[in-house]
Amino acid sequence: MHTATLLTLLPLALAAPSKRDAPAPVLKPRGAQVIEGKYIVKMKADAKPESVQTSIQAVSSDADFVYNSNKFKGFAGSLSAEELEALQNNEDVEYIEQDATVTIKATQENADWGLARLSSSETGSTTYTYDDSAGEGTCAYVIDTGIYTEHEEFEGRATFLANYADDDDTDGNGHGTHVAGTIGSRTYGVAKKTTLFAVKVLDASGSGTNSGVIAGMDFVAQDASGQNCPKGVVVNMSLGGSSSSAVNQAAAGIVDAGLFLAVAAGNEATDASSSSPASEESACTVGATTIDDDLAEYSNFGSVVDILAPGTDIESTWNDGSTNTISGTSMASPHIAGLGAYYLGLDASPVDSLCAYIAQTALSGAISGVPSGTANKLANNGESS
């Protein structure tokens, strides 16, 4: 496989719950590295806040995260076997999913071509043509390893908002800074005037948990309405793990909040339906291409992939104030998040149909090696000559 970027309660017994016909299911993400004794408890949509709080207080360990968005209510934390069984019998619990590890992978190579491809009808151009509005009035959340906000390429438009990975409010990895640069940096960005927000869910090694990722997603779904983003909001998730109902439902919650969500298809050269959040239908799932207009050998594929974008040998900002060139569907996804912000700035499409609009304006049949059943649509900003 081509290594590329893609980028984890109760002192007394639970109060007696209402009777239910069958226990709530306990799910395990397929093929994931699960975390022993750690679980994500998804409450039903109509569960009252006091029911959620009672369930949290009935567990002996403190909750690691509490989720409060309309789409995803619940909590994550350590559960004993007895506590797990009691929660399964709680009428207000929809399901329980074992927590699992989420990671990114990166390689360093040399090239710079992705931006030019977005505004060209043929490969080989070195010119990026775009409307000077450049995403002004939009905001872009980067759910990742953080952002080095002091990078001069961000021109003061990047802010660190939240951290669900560790105690270090910076990007110790570089991945999140690279992603943010492709979305909206001065030189390497698609939408050069968007406002960038860092939501850290992965640590300096590029690792995190599903529970922490969901906490970041829940934060974004609630925070966006309070920000000054008159033209709209995009969200990028250049990360993934094995298929997870909880992660997918949290992704749907971001879309439900009226935000555009671009996600990396994954780097396993397999069907993206086996990965989350790539398999969430309401997200805009992005596969990766090369400078020669081939589907990248590592890129996931399949019917859940909505659009293709440059992903191999992409130069962008790095966490030491310089730049770096790396590869992966992690690099493809921010091209689409940036393009989403660019189109929102132009009032080209409502946010709820933005992924379809990006596919509609894409170049059809331009990429070689795309399997049957995968959309052969290469993103384009409509400025092709």
Task: Give the tens place of pLDDT for each residue, 151-186.
Answer: 999 999 999 999 999 999 999 999 999 999 999 999
Q: Are 54 and 86 in contact (CB under 8 A)?
A: no
CA quadruple 219, 59, 277, 153: dihedral sign: positive
* 3-state DSSP percent of the chain in helix, strand and coil, to 5: 25, 25, 50
Residue tagged active-site, from 330, 333, 335, 349: 330
Q: Are 58 and 41 in contact (CB under 8 A)?
A: no
pLDDT for the residue 32: 73
Q: Is 256 labeled as catalytic in the residue annotation?
A: no
pLDDT for the residue 194: 98
DSSP string, 61-110: SPPSEEEESSS-EEEEEE--HHHHHHHHT-TTEEEEEEEEEEE----B--
Q: Which residues contact 292 (CB under 8 A, 6 or more apart)?
A: 123, 368
Asked if pLDDT for residue 137 goes beyond 60, the answer is yes
Who wins on pLDDT, 218 or 15?
218
What does the angle CA 208 – CA 269 – CA 4 come to, to the nearest 5 degrees? Answer: 50
Asked if pLDDT for residue 239 goes beyond 90, the answer is yes
Dist CA 236 CA 180 (whole Å): 9
> In this structure, what DSSP letter does residue 6 have?
-
pLDDT band, residue 227 (cuts 50/70/90): very high
What is the three-class DSSP state of 146?
coil
**What is the percent of the chain where pLDDT is above 90?**
80
Q: How do strand 323-326 and strand 307-310 relate by DSSP bridges?
A: unpaired
pLDDT for the residue 34: 86
Could you tell me the pTM of the whole model? 0.85
pLDDT band, residue 18 (cuts 50/70/90): low
Q: Is 151 labeled as catalytic in the residue annotation?
A: no
Asked if pLDDT for residue 2 goes beyond 50, the answer is no
H-helix segments, the chain: 49-57, 81-88, 114-118, 175-184, 210-223, 245-256, 329-345, 354-360
Q: Is 330 labeled as catalytic in the residue annotation?
A: yes
CA quadruple 166, 170, 174, 179: dihedral sign: positive
pLDDT band, residue 16 (cuts 50/70/90): very low
Q: Are 362 and 293 in contact (CB under 8 A)?
A: no
Extract the tokens encoding 37: 């004794």
Q: Are 204 and 238 in contact (CB under 8 A)?
A: no
Residue tagged active-site, from 144, 203, 293, 306: 144
For 28-71, how does the pLDDT look when each residue is reduced to its tens digit (9 = 90+)? Answer: 887 677 899 999 999 998 888 888 999 999 899 999 999 987 77
Dist CA 263 CA 265 (whole Å): 6
pLDDT for the residue 69: 79
The arithmetic mean of pLDDT across residues 334-350, rounded, is: 95
For 71-107, how does the pLDDT look when each residue is reduced to its tens digit (9 = 90+)? Answer: 789 999 999 999 999 999 999 999 999 999 886 643 3
For 282-311, how does the pLDDT look when each residue is reduced to its tens digit (9 = 90+)? Answer: 999 999 999 999 999 999 999 999 999 999
Q: Which residues pair with 235 in a beta bridge?
A: 141, 261
Residue tagged active-site, from 119, 171, 175, 203: 175
Q: Is the peptide bond before 17 cis (omega within 30 degrees of 0)?
A: no
pLDDT band, residue 1 (cuts 50/70/90): very low
